[in-house]
Amino acid sequence: MDAASSIPAVLHGSTVTLRPVVEGDLPALRSILEEPDVARWWRRDEWERVDEDDAVTFAIVVDGVVRGCIQFSEETDPDYFSAAVDIFVGTAVQGRGVGPDAMRTLIGWLFDSRGHHRVTVDPAAENARAIHVYEKLGFRVVGVMREYERVEAGVWRDALLMELLADDRPGLA
């Protein structure tokens, strides 16, 4: 199943609209990546990673303003058919339900329309805020991925592997 050929033009949540990122979104997204509370977990130079060819990337739009980014990539082997999700939202909307609404919207679509049975996320092990949100959405910790990603000055940091199964999603209902 080719993700790009079946991506809707827009996904609507309770408060968010998810739409494919366009060139005009890049200045706003790069600006969000420079915010200290975002940059701590996402480096600005990671935009190239955010905009990878194998990931499908959506702008998170609230009241007509780009407030963040959410993306997914897929394992398409039918025996392992699953998705991984990454997200960032600007500090102006953190704590206001924008991130959880974007996650519910995308994950619901991944389960219900794409037919995935598992979605994973991999927040930094110290990112207590993100971990709390994912747990409220029904994700469970699988384990610690030691020295998972290289950050500033070449230092490696741990991440948690968290998963949500389609049959186990109370926070998405």
pLDDT tens, position by position, 48-79: 555 555 789 999 999 999 999 999 999 989 99
Q: How far is 3 from 49, CA to CA, in rounded Å?
A: 18
Q: How confident is the model at residue 83, as a pLDDT? A: 96
Q: How confident is the model at residue 173, as a pLDDT? A: 46
Q: Percent of the chain, pLDDT > 90? A: 75
Between 6 and 82, the more confident residue is 82
Q: What's the average model confidence in pLDDT over 84-105?
A: 94
C-alpha distances in Å from residue 49, one per residue of 20, 24, 52, 55: 16, 18, 5, 9
pLDDT-based confidence at residue 44 (cuts at 50, 70, 90): low
Superfamily of 4-172 according to CATH: Gcn5-related N-acetyltransferase (GNAT) (3.40.630.30)
Task: With H, G, I as helix, E, B as strand and everything else as coil, classify residue 104.
Answer: helix
What's the token pair of residue 2?
A: 């080719």
Q: How confident is the model at residue 48, as a pLDDT? A: 57
Q: Identify the CA nearest to 40 among candidates 143, 141, 149.
A: 149
Q: What would the pLDDT profile of 16-30 be if each residue is shown by its tens digit?
A: 999 999 999 999 999
Q: What's the average model confidence in pLDDT over 143-161?
A: 90
Nearest 5°: the CA angle 66, 160, 18 is 20
Question: Is residue 12 scored above 60 in pLDDT?
Answer: yes
Helix axes 128-136, 98-112, angle to 10 degrees: 50
The whole model's pTM is what? 0.88
Question: Is residue 9 scored above 70 in pLDDT?
Answer: yes
Question: Is residue 4 scored above 70 in pLDDT?
Answer: no
